[in-house]
Structure 1
Amino acid sequence: MTTRARATATVTWPEANARRLARQHLYGGLASTRTPSSSPPSPASTPSPPSPPSPSDVVGAMLGAHAQVLSAAELSVGLRGEGLTRTDVRTALWADDPARRTLVKTFGPRGTVHLLPAADLPLWTGALRAVPTGPHPFPKGARMSPEQVEEVVAAVGEALRGAELTIDELSEEVVARTGPWAGDLVVPGFQEMWPRWRQVLHLAGHRGVLAYAPNRGRKAAYTNPGCAPLPGPEATAALLERYLYAYGPATPAHFAQWLAAPRRWAAGLFASRAGSGAIEEVAFEGAGPAWVVAGDTDFPAAPVRGVRLLPYFDAFTIASHPRERLFPGRASERALGGGQAGNYPVLLVDGTVAGVWHQRRSGKRIAVTVEPLEPLSAARLRALEAEVERVAAIVEGKTELTVGTVSVGPHA
């Protein structure tokens, strides 16, 4: 029979929300510069003014920036760093000097394309390759045997070593190195059928043998980042602690949803880390028993104030729970697509979702429409205007703000 230790602290939703926003550089004055893997400062050291976060600092704090649409990722990063622009993000990704490439575009949590810090790639690949897979999503005739999967992943890594290939070039190499079966057009794609081997493209990313290279014209290209993944147990333990540092208090179900992992596996990981003393339980308003990194129980008393805009699939809106507290009342109807966060860019007022917005770009001109769910005061309208100007600076354009109804649907 197992027993649960009594929670030693109670955390309210405003406290948790304020700390999450601060640690993601979305709300000033509360963010700690330490992460769970950092060493404490020396008592004899003299504190120096914090420097503005770099793109890799920001992406590390977010635990990855969703980058299926790269412009949304650029905005997510820019909104968290003073003076950062999309050019800074692109430089961190694609600089001619490899030493300046501090970000990697690859397959991250949930098997979706993310920006990740280059320095953290061994941790991410070690953790992601250790996450158990769910039911096979493809029909029986399209599937690959475990041996075929390993053969394709090895072929991808070999083909991309020291090379940058488009998907068509990579496909030719994989089929040549494995066999015609890998090229059978059996995988449903975007209005076409893809070759069989494409179903493990994301797995090659999780194994550390595939990442995006700079586009060749309008075509995506890939390369082998030469990553040696950390051992699975070490990597999953570190990723859990980083997740709790950024989004705690959280439950195993929250972690499993964020990672697209089985709940039973997540519960086992939490139990293991709790047993080792690495994480501790708290009582979390609206969620019941939840967890934080051991000793990380300081929360701000002051509530969040201010107006922020966040783009599609921003990490904060996807990973924050309980979702009904972040999307209260009408916000859950207007800003969640079938209960899924990230489908709409959102307006935050005092730290919670209070509207949606949309941008339409034509050259340097960007028409921004913001739809608040409740009328904004004069002070908040001025704050919104300032936030739209920040968006303009990040995306390097000129904005025109309209406060009114957003008429487009999700992903528009």
Structure 2
Amino acid sequence: MRRAFAVIELSWAQVSARRLARHRLSAPASGAAPDAGRVADVVSAICGAHAQIASAAELSVGLRVPGATRALVRRALWTDRTLVKTRGPRGTVHLLAAADLPMWVGALSALPVPSSERSVAVLTPQQTEQVLAAIADAVAEADLTTAELTEEVVSRTGPWAGDLVMEAFQDKWPRWVAAMTAATRSGVICFGPNRGRVSTHTSPTRWLPDFVPMPGPAALAALVRGYLYAYGPATPAQFARWLAVAPGWATLLFDSLDLTEVTVGGTRAWVAADDTEFPDDRPSGLRLLPYFDAYAVGCHPRERLFPGAAADRALAGGQAGNYPVLLVDGVVAGVWHQRRSGRSIRVTVEPLGTLGAARQRALGEEVERVGEILEGRASLTIGAVSVGPHA
């Protein structure tokens, strides 16, 4: 239950400074040489890295681990397996810390099923169970493309599973695909390494041999705690938006947990009851965040993170993440784009205001770091970005 003590009053500067530090954007992870374990620790701290665009995920993680490159992120994912690629918050593709997978699967399995999924009636409950069992058996020791997985599922269930009844843009998908979301949410399946440009699917037990989902209530409590660590203070409505669930359901969840109420500029929000320390330092630093970076997508309120002209220039219909952003002192201060040709990476940055000499030097250093992470040679142009938002 929420504790009824004197409400802590916080400034936006305090909140922003804490979030930057916890996202490793003001003080990136330090210590020994970067390795797959430290990469996973950072991904865990930010509750996952959006990975619909693989290069953006690699950059997002690399920016937070000094000395890291995209090769290290790939090694953590496919060789050391401290990361796993699967669907996380909002059903979008994420890199998650493999050690957190039992919590994620337990929490996602405990979420209310969206009405859009309930309306998909191409599979009966019994057929869904058959498909899930067939998927689990098929990927237990193999990385399979969707076409290969279709053959395996049909051979284990029957021709009905392969009927082309699912709408798929200008095509049709086989019936069994209606169970794919449930398979991912319940931990039956995750992504395997690409085969050329084609995605594969495999079993999470290949990352965690003793994988068992955490019980739902404990998993949801752990997920809220992780979210508030990275993005708090936050409201139930903000958590609901991040996870794509109903605000009323999120409010009931918050009410059931041990949280502390605070105010930020007079607005109520919550943090974990034992995590109420905030820095007195002001947010500082300059960073280039890629498409769908966790900080830009997960932090609220939007009007604080995208003040004034930033909302018009860097949001797409109110949606964050569709533009890579220039972050200055914890708020969005421009957009940017990178174009690669071989090892050459041309970075164009469009600031929304004038950058002084110190900021320009910091921007040059950040562009150089982008090149190092992406294993190329980056050059900087300050000017208009003509590329539109990513879908």
**TM bucket normalised to smaller:** over 0.9
> Could you tell me which residue of structure 1 aligns to residue 318 of structure 2?
339
Structure 1 residues 280 and 3: CA distance shift in structure 2, 3 A: closer
> Could you tell me which residue of structure 2 aligns to residue 40 of structure 1?
none
Give the distance between the partners of 1:101 and 1:139, measured in 2 at CA: 36
Residue-by-residue CA offset, 1:344-379 (whole Å, 9 max, x unaligned): 000001110011100111110111111111121111
Deviation at 1:189, TM superposition (A): 2.8
Asked if the contact 2:2–2:261 (Cα under 8 Å) also holds between the matched residues in 1, the reply is: no
| Structure 2 residue corresponding to 1:195, chosen from 174, 189, 193 | 174
> Could you tell me which residue of structure 2 aligns to residue 44 of structure 1?
none
> Which letter maps to 1:179?
G
Give the distance between the partners of 2:261 and 2:248, measured in 1 at CA: 18
Residue 203 of structure 1: SS of its match in structure 2? helix
| Structure 2 residue corresponding to 1:241, chosen from 210, 220, 225 | 225
> Could you tell me which residue of structure 2 aligns to residue 262 of structure 1?
246
Residue 58 of structure 1: SS of its match in structure 2? helix
| Structure 2 residue corresponding to 1:65, chosen from 38, 49, 54 | 49
> Which letter maps to 1:25?
R
Deviation at 1:306, TM superposition (A): 1.7
Deviation at 1:94, TM superposition (A): 1.0
> Which letter maps to 2:24?
H
> Could you tell me which residue of structure 2 aligns to residue 25 of structure 1?
24
Residue 165 of structure 1: SS of its match in structure 2? coil
Structure 1 residues 124 and 191: CA distance shift in structure 2, 3 A: same
Asked if the contact 2:2–2:255 (Cα under 8 Å) also holds between the matched residues in 1, the reply is: no
> Could you tell me which residue of structure 1 aligns to residue 113 of structure 2?
133
Aligned runs of 1:373-412 on 2, under 5 Å?
A: 373-411=352-390
Deviation at 1:122, TM superposition (A): 0.6
Structure 1 residues 209 and 387: CA distance shift in structure 2, 3 A: same
| Structure 2 residue corresponding to 1:114, chosen from 90, 94, 100 | 94
| Structure 1 residue corresponding to 2:197, chosen from 218, 240, 256 | 218
Residue 385 of structure 1: SS of its match in structure 2? helix
Residue 265 of structure 1: SS of its match in structure 2? helix
> Which letter maps to 2:106?
G
Residue 280 of structure 2: SS of its match in structure 1? coil
Give the distance between the partners of 1:139 and 1:242, measured in 2 at CA: 32
Deviation at 1:51, TM superposition (A): 4.2
Count of aligned residue pairs for this structure pair: 383
> Could you tell me which residue of structure 2 aligns to residue 147 of structure 1?
126
Q: Which moved more, 1:233-242 or 1:178-187?
A: 178-187
Residue-by-residue CA offset, 1:55-109 (whole Å, 9 max, x unaligned): 10110011000001111100000000100100000000111xxxx2111011111
> Which letter maps to 2:329?
D
> Which letter maps to 1:23?
R
Deviation at 1:52, TM superposition (A): 6.2
Structure 1 residues 126 and 138: CA distance shift in structure 2, 3 A: closer
| Structure 2 residue corresponding to 1:280, chosen from 249, 253, 260 | 260
Unaligned runs of 5+ in 1: 32-48
Give the distance between the partners of 1:76 and 1:200, measured in 2 at CA: 31
Asked if the contact 2:3–2:259 (Cα under 8 Å) also holds between the matched residues in 1, the reply is: no
- Supply the RMSD in Å over aligned alpha carbons: 2.0
Tell me whether 1:356 sits opposite 2:340 in the alignment: no
Residue-by-residue CA offset, 1:300-353 (whole Å, 9 max, x unaligned): 111112211000111111110111100011111111111111100000011100
Asked if the contact 1:129–1:207 (Cα under 8 Å) also holds between the matched residues in 2, the reply is: yes
> Could you tell me which residue of structure 2 aligns to residue 316 of structure 1?
295
Q: Which moved more, 1:178-187 or 1:111-120?
A: 178-187
> Which letter maps to 1:385?
G
> Could you tell me which residue of structure 2 aligns to residue 82 of structure 1?
66
Structure 1 residues 357 and 199: CA distance shift in structure 2, 3 A: farther
Asked if the contact 1:212–1:221 (Cα under 8 Å) also holds between the matched residues in 2, the reply is: yes
Structure 1 residues 8 and 52: CA distance shift in structure 2, 3 A: farther
The two structures have a TM-score, normalised by structure 2, of: 0.93
Asked if the contact 1:7–1:283 (Cα under 8 Å) also holds between the matched residues in 2, the reply is: no
Asked if the contact 1:164–1:221 (Cα under 8 Å) also holds between the matched residues in 2, the reply is: yes
The two structures have a TM-score, normalised by structure 1, of: 0.88
Deviation at 1:3, TM superposition (A): 10
Give the distance between the partners of 2:349 and 2:7, measured in 1 at CA: 42
Residue 84 of structure 1: SS of its match in structure 2? coil
